[in-house]
A and B are shown apart, each in its own frame.
Chain A
């Protein structure tokens, strides 16, 4: 990944071009947030907040490795949200459980989750926090181990071992459920 990553992006200080980035990159940001936060509504809010931050500070956009940088900004933002939620949960556990209880899935969600790939997505969603991020960044974003290590602030060798471990968990989960789907 070189400077070509910014071919979809603007010269750094162009706010209008930042707004154009929403078209090309909001699905990526939303999906990462969804797998980290496990809530569609929170992921949508997080995606909006991330683009608001970039829009307010277009100068922070790097000239290369844009996609990895965007994933890092998104990952950090979601980690901040998770940390705040964790503090709140510690302080007010009963209220937290009540207000964050998952609502019944809408008919639309039920249909979407019925497709053949939903098993894989659900299995990914069941992985531990950082494993989810690694699987997402490797297999969806196609980032290299070096880029993933920069996003997550972990050694490059750890990326390989965690990715392998996550794959084994996925395989175990899916073969347990579906008898050899993966």
Chain B
């Protein structure tokens, strides 16, 4: 076997070679002093880079800074709930009075289907279409309370989503 190059030794040291190739290089390492020196120096370089990165200075009170951000976030969430829950309840009550109990139950049914399974986007689109239909009917009949409240709730929800900076962390 000819002496492997730096790239092969890097793969060897990173334990990224197939077992047969690894064994072959181990045998070569026993026989070749030059390659032993090269592999040792590469390993030392790896260790040195790792140690240098691990010693990257941290800002003072990093953990406290993050914990403070978490506490602020929790308080903000509670404040939003105080607004959203009454707004949603009020919307529900007005929806029952303006559009009728049956339409509301219909939407609850759609929502239950969405939770139970089915295509999320299809069911969500059905719910939104149903709500828009109700709002349009209410507007045509001169009852502006429902569409107005729907817009307010939508805006609040949208702001809330934006505040979460993109929602769940994507993996």
User: Is B170 an interface residue, CB under 8 A from the partner?
Assistant: yes
Chain B nearest CB from A142 CB (Å) reads 7
From B10, B58, B67, A167 is in contact (CB under 8 Å) with: B10
B residues 1-32 with Cβ under 8 Å of A? 6-7, 10-11, 14-16
A51 CA to B76 CA in the complex, in Å? 16
Asked if residues B46 and A55 are in contact (CB atoms below 8 Å), the reply is no
Alpha-carbon gap, A53 to B165, bound state (A): 8
Does B169 lie within 8 Å of A144, measured CB to CB? no
Q: Are B51 and A117 within 8 A (Cβ)?
A: yes
Question: Known contacts A52-B69, A182-B45; is A44 also within 8 Å of B62 by CB?
Answer: yes
Residues from 45 to 72 in B contacting A, C-beta threshold 8 Å: 45-46, 48-59, 62-63, 65-67, 69-70
Chain A interface residue count: which class? 35 or more
Consensus secondary structure, chain B interface: helix
Q: List 10 A-B contacts (CB under 8 A).
A: A34-B56, A52-B69, A54-B169, A56-B77, A56-B168, A76-B170, A135-B49, A139-B50, A160-B11, A171-B45
**Which chain B residues lie closer than 8 Å to A170 at the CB level?**
49
A120 on interface, CB distance cutoff 8 Å: yes
Residue contact B168 to A57, C-beta cutoff 8 Å: yes
Chain B interface residues (CB < 8 Å from chain A):
6-7, 10-11, 14-16, 45-46, 48-59, 62-63, 65-67, 69-70, 73, 77, 164-171
Binds B, one of A4-12, A22-30, A91-99: A22-30
Chain A positions within 8 Å of B52 at CB level: 117-118, 120-121, 124
Closest 9 CB pairs of A and B: A117-B52, A120-B52, A53-B169, A140-B53, A48-B69, A139-B50, A57-B168, A112-B57, A139-B49
**Smallest beta-carbon distance B67→chain A, Å:** 6
Closest partner residue, chain A, to B68 (CB atom): A48
